[in-house]
Structure 1
Amino acid sequence: MKEFSRADRIGSQMQRELALLLRDAVKDPRLSEVTVQEVRVTRDLSHAKVYFTILDKSEAGFFTQLLGKAAGFLRRRLGQAMKLRTVPELKFVYDSSIEEGQRLEALIQKAVASDSGEDDG
């Protein structure tokens, strides 16, 4: 069984804490629409990429900027909640993997439907 590294454990805890902070502590109500999908922390714990999703993917750029402006506040609150000596610098990235998965699923369904249609003839 694979052991999780310290960076993985901190990333998991950061994901939970960020979700709570976005829901409860941030003054901008629009940020409560953000879902934190994953947090990847570098091995030296200096940087963290926060992957997020929102319902309207056309506003991804706007929310990336909005989260970037709130990064200092979120980082400070993470430091208080997690009691880390140094809190990683946060970089927010829109996670398009869900849309990509849906697109691939649709392509697979289309290929299966066309294959079964050819076999009937």
Structure 2
Amino acid sequence: MESYRTDRIAKEIRKILSQTISLLGKELGGGLISLTKVTVTKDLSIAKLYISIFGAKYTPLEIINYLNENKSYFRNELGNKMRLRALPDLKFFLDDTLDEIEHIQKMIKEVQSELPENSDESAD
């Protein structure tokens, strides 16, 4: 369970970095890169940033590696806009929630196609 403070800091980090990360998509050859979720540890030492990537020129793994290699730039931007004693270390992860949803929907359609169409009539 997140505390009020960690939740508030996560929202502020997301607000500050969302636009910068989406602009990065244009710089990296098009595509949509968005910051979907931010979580902060209770001790505020680590912030996990979840990124979704669509239609980019580079692979998602290359983009995540690029973000992690350049996290000092993002920390600097946070430092200019946030008042914290110590900024959390940033760790970027690929948000594959949409892929999981698509996979589950595909499985549901497969199961539905295997069911008999008139299952109500067979119960009589």
* 1:29 partnered with 2:8: no
TM-score of the superposition, structure 2-length normalised?
Answer: 0.80
Structure 2 counterpart of 1:112: 112
Mean Cα deviation higher: 5-14 or 56-65:
56-65
Output aligned runs, 1:7-46, within 5 Å. 7-23=6-22, 29-30=27-28, 33-46=32-45
Alpha-carbon distance in 2 for matches of 1:88, 1:34: 22
Higher radius of gyration, 1 or 2: 2
Paired positions, count = 118
* 1:100 partnered with 2:92: no
Amino acid at match of 1:94: L
Alignment deviations for residues 48-81 of structure 1 (CA, whole Å, 9 cap, x no partner):
1100010148711100111012200100111111
CA RMSD of superposed structures (Å): 2.7
Output aligned runs, 1:2-81, within 5 Å. 5-23=4-22, 29-30=27-28, 33-56=32-55, 59-81=59-81
Alignment deviations for residues 65-105 of structure 1 (CA, whole Å, 9 cap, x no partner):
11012200100111111222211100000011110111001
List alignment gaps of at least 5 residues for structure 2.
Answer: none
Alignment deviations for residues 12-56 of structure 1 (CA, whole Å, 9 cap, x no partner):
1111111122245x6x81298321010110011000110001014
Distance 1:91 1:3, change over 3 A: closer
Alpha-carbon distance in 1 for matches of 2:8, 2:94: 22
Quick check: which one's helix share is greater?
1
Alpha-carbon distance in 2 for matches of 1:3, 1:49: 13
Q: Is the 8 A contact 1:22 1:31 kept in 2?
A: no
List alignment gaps of at least 5 residues for structure 1.
Answer: none
